Every structure is written in C-alpha cells, then in structure tokens.
Chain A
Amino acid sequence: MTPASRRLADRVVEVAIESLIRLCGISAIIFVFGILYFVFREGAGFLFAGLDVREFFTSPEWYPTSQSRVRYGVLALIAGTGAVTALAMLLAVPFGIGAAVFVSEFCSPRWKEGLKITIELLAAIPSVVWGFIGLTVMNPLIMVVFGVPIGLNVLNGGLILALMSVPIIVSIGEDALKAVPDSYREAALALGVTRWQLVYRVLLPAARNGLLAAVLLGVGRAVGETMAVLMATGHAVTMPTSVMDSVRTLTATIAAELGEAPVGSDHYQVLFIIGILLFTITFVVNLAADLIVRGRRRA
C-alpha cells in the first residue's frame, strides 16, 4: 500500500465514522418529530372534524363506547392526573430536596456513596412493580389506617408517584447544589454562619434554578407515569373531592383502552388526542425546566 492510497483509505473511514456519529446525534430529533408526527396523524382527523373541543375540556363524562350517546369529556381525567401529580409533588419535593441537601452537604463521603447507589436503585425499580406494591401492600394498609372502604385512590397513587420521583429530584438537585462554587461556602463560613444558615441563606438561593428544574423533571415523570397509577388509583372516572377518592389518569385511560379500540375509530382517535394533550403538558414542563436551567447558567 502506497502512503497516498493509505491516506485516502484513512480519509474515507474518517468521513464514514463522522457521518455515523452525526446520524446518532440527530437521531433523537428525528425520533421526537417522528413520534409527534405519528401521534398527530392518528388523532388529527377527529381533532379538526368531529370532536366537540368544548365538551372535551369541560365535561367530566367519559363514555367512549356508549350505545345511546357517546361523550368524550376528559375533565375528570385531567383532574385525576392533576390531583395525583400535585399530591406526589407535595410529598416528593420536601423529601427530595432535603435528601439532596443531606447527600451534598452533610453526609460523610462513605455514606454518600452508599446513599447515592441506593437512591439510584430506587429509580431502577420498574413501574409495574410499584403498581403491584400499590395494589397489594398500600391498598390494605390505607384501608386499615384511614378506615376507608377502598385504598386504591389519590393517596395511594400519590405516594407511589412520590417514591418514583424522589430519585430524580435527589440526583438532579444534588448536581445543582454541587455546582454552587466552593468559594460561596468558604465565604459564608468565614463570616461565622452555622451549617443550617449556610444551606438556607446561601446554597438554596444560589442553586434555586437547578432545584426548580429538578422539581419540574419530577413533575414530568409523575404526569407521564402510566402502569403504576393504573394499578394504584382505582381507575375510576370521578372528579376527586378528597385524597380518598379513586380517580383515573390520562395515561391510564390510553393504556387501558387503546388495545381494544378499533383502529381508526373515533374512540381510537380521541385516545391519540389525549396523547397529544399529554405530549403538550410534558413538553411545556420540560421546556420550562430547560429554560430555567439556562437561566441559571447565564446568571
């Protein structure tokens, strides 16, 4: 092989590998738009012709297979998703941020490694296992502790979702706290503050954006979760008035009904429209998280 031809061969390999890596890089974008296109295509026909959009958003009556009058109102499903997510965040945010502060600031290095591995293990538990815990452990527990007739409700789903979102909040929150320059800590300690004052007055304000992003990603996780809430919330179309009410979420409705809805029917298309709605919600939440993180970087 002459040096010239070897150089040519090297160049060809170089270009091939480079374009392969580029393809890997942009494939995420292709997939996101591909999925978006597919979901829209399946739902668009009925979204623009036939669906009563007012009823869709304002009626709690979900009767997709009624023989007398089909009604596609998702208000109760939105309320179900909202209630479960809100409760989950109410529980997960204090625990998640607290754990992040502990791991980042108070923990000895040996403990820190063990804790981080355990928290990551919590994130690795499949959602169907969480659902199973909700169904077989939490359901009887809630019935006994609160004396309610059934334990498959907002509280059950919220607890499960809180346990699922805590690992995300902890690991991203800890990163945010770690990103606060050590000079801040040193300056504060030099002024004679206690460790509590350091956390409360210096670190939390400095890491505010990162922590908010952690919380929003937790929200995104909670809104999009399907299997666990399907099993733990009772799957009942109701406008919840207390945490002891059974509810149904948007995701669980798609999971339970898409399999048997005839392809192309109104019911099938409405389920895809719910998919578009979910996509929009999680997109807005993730975008907000992203913008906030950017804000932090610029600051």
Chain B
Amino acid sequence: MASSNRPDSRLLWRTPAAVAAVVGACLGVACGGSSAPASKEPARTVIQNTGSDTMVNVAQAWAEEYATVNPGVSVEVSGGGSGTGIAALDHGTVDIANASRHIEPKEIETARRNTGKTPVEHIAGYDALAVYVHASNPMTAITLEQLGQVYGEGGTVVRWSQLGVTMPGGADEIIRISRQSNSGTYAYFREAVLGKGRDFKLGSLDMHGSKDVVELVSKTPGAVGYSGMGYAAPGVKPLAIAAKAGEPAYGPTVENTQNRTYPIARPLLMYTLGPDEGAVKAYLDWVMSPAGQAIVKASGYVPLTGAQSVR
C-alpha cells in the first residue's frame, strides 16, 4: 500500500500549481476576450417584453423580425398572462407589458408608487374573440343574448335544441368550454358577452390556453368554446355573432373587426412606463408601422386601420 501511495501523493502535490497555472491562463483569456470587442462595438440594447399569453405569438414574431431590422436591439419576449406582465411593469422589471385587457386604476397607482412613472397605453392591433363549435354542428350564427344564456350564471340554455339546433349525432347537451378564471380572455368574454358584474355558470370545462379550447372543441361534437380568431383550426368553425336578436350576424373576420360590426373584439395593448424614448419608442413605432402590422395580420390578428391607430 505504502509504496503504491508514493507516486499518488507526489502527483497531488504538483496538482495545485498546475491548477493555478491553468486557472490563471483561463482568466487571462477570458478578460482579453470580453474586454476587447466591448470597446469596439456599441452596447447591445435589450428590451424586456412580457405579459399576455394571447399576444405572445405575435410579440415573438415582432421580436424576431425586428432583430433583422435593427440588429443592435434585442427584444426578449415571455408570456405568463396580462396580469403578470402588468405586475412586472409596476415593479419596473420590464420595458413593455403586453395585455389583452385594459390596465386597472389600482395597477396604475402601484406603478406610480413604485417607479414614479405613469403607464402609457398603446394599441398594437385587435383580436376578435371567436365562438367556436364543432365542424359538424349545423348552427351558423348566435346572438350575444343566447351566448349569455349558455355561459352566464342563471342562464337557462343547456341543450342545443333550446337554441333550435338539431345535432346530427343526437348529443343534445351543450358542453361549455371556458378558460381559467384569471385569463384575460375569460375576463373580456365575461364583460363583453355576459355583461358587467355577471358571472359564468359553473360547470364549464376550464382550459388553460387558447389552443386547448379549440383542440377540445374539435374533438367534441357537442362543444362550444371561445378563443382568439387566430386559433381557428380544422375541425372547428366560428359562429357569426349578432349583437341583438333580429339584427344581422357577422363572422369574425379582419374586415368586420375593423369596421366594428363584429361585436366581440378587443384591442391588443402594450404598456410602457412614462414618456417613451430611445429604443423602446423606436420599437413601438415600428410595431405600429405597416411592417409591424403585416406581422399582426400574419399571426391571425386584426391590424390597425389608418384611422384607429391615431385614437
């Protein structure tokens, strides 16, 4: 044992010196590597952009496209929900918060208290909320009143036959598909369709994402669900919606949203802190420009029209 130990212990003695030499060399390289380019190139600006899950796809598409337009600026996008984004803005940890609902007075107050600045609202496009049914469902149009009876607390409609629809498979029960209670889409649907202060009827299947809603509707003949118009997929069809019984119903299209005939559309909002300047202002200007708005359309949302972008 002892004799075989000797070479090992000699090696051990040598090692620290070797390690020190290697570490020293690495440090030297690392310092040289990082300091040299930094002095030549202008610093890369990073814009933090977080919030609405509804908007995360389009925000990601903007960020990717903007990287080719202005390589000096990198936009980092993450989701988490409108509330998460606005909370992050309130604490000054992000530059732009995406939201599919308007900021609340309480949240503006928090932002003022934490950062001393006031959130500014920008409209970057529109999202029409489509009501989807299974492709085999013969229904083509519905009124807001009927939707309220299906989804709202105290609503009496639970069967398709009550809406005058005969389902082909004979499954008469309406399977209501909704969203988790703190989603911006849930809150918007509640306000725009059920009316202020009215709650959802309990017993709906609450999905955790816009895409999950559409997917489940496509697999369930008796289902109805709501999601952004951009989530339309094979197997589902969006219903045309009439504001009142007897009035014409309009489908969720770009045109109907821009001319305000489609009744449930909401703005895609971007909030910033205080007067915008520098890279953030340049980015927002680009988002509102024809190039940015083309991406809105390509992502399945409704771009601004000339008149609306002024507001």
Interface residues of A (CB under 8 A from B): 60-69, 76, 139-140, 143, 149-150, 152, 230, 234-238, 246, 248, 256-257, 259-263, 267
Contacts and interface: CB of A to CB of B under 8 A. Distances in A.
Interface residues of B, number: 33
Contacts of B84: 259-260
Contact of A149 (B171, B190, B204): B171
A150 B222 contact: yes
B181 interface: yes
Contacts, number: 78
Nearest to B201: A237
Contact of A257 (B182, B187, B190, B197): B182
Contacts of A140: 219
Interface string B77-100: 000110110010000000000000
B125 interface: no
B182 A234 contact: no
Interchain residue pairs A-B with the least CB separation, the first 4 = A68-B197, A260-B182, A149-B222, A238-B203
Nearest to B174: A149
Given A149-B173, A256-B208, A262-B87, A61 B202 contact: yes
29 contacts: A61-B202, A62-B202, A63-B181, A63-B199, A64-B181, A64-B182, A65-B182, A67-B190, A68-B197, A69-B199, A143-B220, A149-B220, A149-B221, A150-B175, A152-B205, A152-B216, A235-B206, A236-B204, A236-B205, A237-B202, A237-B203, A246-B203, A256-B180, A256-B208, A257-B181, A259-B81, A260-B180, A262-B87, A267-B182
Contacts of B302: none
B206 to A, nearest CB: 5
Nearest to B180: A256
B311 interface: no
B244 interface: no
Nearest to B83: A260
Interface of B: 80-81, 83-84, 87, 171, 173, 175, 180-183, 186-187, 190-191, 196-199, 202-208, 216, 219-223
A110 to B, nearest CB: 43
Nearest to A71: B199
A267 B202 CA distance: 18
A150 B181 contact: no
Contacts of B202: 60-62, 76, 236-238
A235 B180 CA distance: 9
Nearest to B187: A65
A155 to B, nearest CB: 15
A263 B87 CA distance: 10
Indicate the member of A62, A76, A236 with the most B CB atoms within 10 Å: A236
B219 A67 contact: no
Contacts of B191: 67
Given A235-B207, A236-B206, A260-B84, A150 B220 contact: yes
B52 to A, nearest CB: 11
Given A149-B173, A230-B208, A238-B203, 10 more contacts: A65-B187, A69-B199, A152-B205, A152-B216, A236-B205, A237-B203, A246-B203, A246-B205, A259-B84, A260-B84
Given A259-B81, A260-B84, A236 B203 contact: yes
Contacts of A61: 202
A262 B220 CA distance: 33
Contacts of B198: 68
A150 B190 CA distance: 24
A76 B186 CA distance: 21
B205 A150 contact: yes
Contacts of A139: 219
Contact of A234 (B196, B205, B219): B205
Nearest to B107: A262
Contacts of A76: 202
A2 to B, nearest CB: 17
Nearest to B182: A260
Given A67-B196, A149-B173, A260 B203 contact: no
Nearest to A230: B208
A263 B110 CA distance: 14
Nearest to B186: A65
B203 A257 contact: no
Contacts of B222: 149-150
Q: Which of A65, A76, A257 has the most CB of B within 10 A?
A: A65
A127 to B, nearest CB: 16
B176 to A, nearest CB: 8
A145 to B, nearest CB: 14
A260 B207 contact: no
B206 A256 contact: yes
A171 B83 CA distance: 45
A139 B217 CA distance: 13
Contacts of A152: 205, 216
A188 to B, nearest CB: 53
Contacts of B204: 236
